[in-house]
Amino acid sequence: MIDGAQQISRISHEELGELEKVVITSPSGDKAVIERHGAWVKSLQIDGTDVFFPRTTISVGGEEKQRGGMHICFPQGGPDSIGLDGARLPQHGFARDSDNWEFERVFGTEDRGLHAVLLTLSSDDMKSYPSYPYNYMVEILYMFAASTFVAKARVTNQGDSPMPVGFAFHPYYLVPEDVIVSVPNEFVTSLNSQKRELGKPLVQPIGTYSGIGHTGLSIGNRVIQITTAGFPLQVLWSDDPHFNRFSLPTVKVNGGMNGQTANHYLCLEPFPNYEDFRTDNGVWIPPQHGNSHYWADYYMRIELSPKTPISSLSN
């Protein structure tokens, strides 16, 4: 099991099986709502501030899309461009749409309440995907450590053949109306080198760079500091129409999105790689050997700072 949470609460596994969402909190009142379906973080508040664009259904390009909160991408982030035997996985994999996740355990104390929750998804409980015929266990731990939100993931290969994995986290950061957004200079360098055209709809990432460690976004007078491990890339992306045209590294947005909301979203995603996850450059978890299993671990930490300048985040 993933390490990092202590003191199991008294909620039984049977009681957990009846829940569709769990609310975890920090001693200072920070709150995250975790949905069982898709292991989706529906909302996150730190220091009284909404960090994520709340999960909702909106119209994008004439189609109804789920946007907001934070979901995971498993088995892969992005498209399955290679496939297997003519079959391909959905965009960002199948785990975010699965109803087979289980609240395995919650953690907390009587005086403080719940501060962590562990969810699991097993290939034993999933329908068979011909394009991903592997025996796996996915564990996701969401928790508060003081006023820091932490997401940990472990993907274990329980089968007898090497298993490709392109795991990613996909957060939607809330951008309120009439605020200035700044991004790290690494994205500007990446954008220039890739010669992306910002006048076109952002169906592709705005920019990517190798960002293992520390990065962040400056949104208004707050800086979202992000620490990651296990991800070779950071991807900046949005299909919010108000991010279709702007000049990095700063942007100011105003007006509601399609008349639906006065808020907007920008995604800064810890990402596996920008090739298909089945390539030789991807992560392949070795098969089990006797009673020993192999796994891949992923980590993401989010905290807010009202003072740290954006330029110092990647130093």
- With a CB cutoff of 8 Å and minimum separation 6, the contacts of 273 are 166, 232, 233, 281, 282
What is the model's pLDDT at position 111?
Answer: 66
Q: Is 89 helix (H, G, I), strand (E, B) or coil?
A: coil
Asked if 294 and 155 count as a contact pair (C-beta separation under 8 A), the reply is no
What is the chain's percent helix, strand, coil content, to nearest 5?
A: 10, 45, 45
Is residue 217 over pLDDT 60? yes
| pTM, 2 dp | 0.84
Q: Dump pLDDT digits (tens) for 153-201.
A: 999 999 999 999 999 999 999 988 777 777 766 655 555 444 444 333 3
Is residue 71 over pLDDT 90? yes
* Residue type (1 letter), 27: P
Lowest mean pLDDT among 125-129, 172-176, 255-259, 301-305: 255-259
More confident residue, 55 or 59: 55
DSSP annotation of 281: T
pLDDT classification of 76: cutoffs 50, 70, 90:
very high
Q: What is the mean pLDDT of residues 48-65?
A: 85
Per-chain mean pLDDT for the chain: 78
Element of type H or E holding 45: strand 40-46
Q: State the number of CA atoms in the 13 A half-sphere of 8 facing the CB.
A: 9
Q: How far is CA 243 from the centre of its chain?
A: 20
Task: Measure Cα distances from 84 to 155, 192, 300 in Å.
Answer: 20, 35, 30
Distance CA(276)–CA(78), nearest Å, equals 8
pLDDT classification of 249: cutoffs 50, 70, 90:
very low
Q: Highest mean pLDDT: which of 10-14, 58-62, 153-157?
A: 153-157
What is the model's pLDDT at position 3?
Answer: 52
Written out in words, the top-level CATH class of the domain with range 13-312 is mainly beta
What is the model's pLDDT at position 84?
Answer: 83
What is the model's pLDDT at position 180?
Answer: 75
Is residue 106 over pLDDT 80? yes
Q: What is the mean pLDDT of residues 200-212?
A: 45
Is residue 308 over pLDDT 60? no
What is the model's pLDDT at position 245?
Answer: 44
What is the model's pLDDT at position 121?
Answer: 96
Asked if 52 and 68 count as a contact pair (C-beta separation under 8 A), the reply is yes
DSSP calls for 226-240? EEEES-SEEEEE---
Tokens standing for 224?
A: 């979202």
What is the model's pLDDT at position 144?
Answer: 94
What is the model's pLDDT at position 262?
Answer: 55
Tokens standing for 73?
A: 């991408």
Q: Dump pLDDT digits (tens) for 191-202.
A: 544 444 433 333
Is residue 244 over pLDDT 90? no
Is residue 22 over pLDDT 70? yes
Distance CA(253)–CA(266), nearest Å, equals 11
Asked if 265 and 257 count as a contact pair (C-beta separation under 8 A), the reply is no
Count of CB atoms within 10 A of residue 280's CB?
7
Helices (H), the chain: 13-16, 185-194
Burial track 48-87 (b if 16+ CB lie within 10 A, e otherwise): ebebbbbbeebebeeeeebbbbbbbbbbbbbebeeeeeee
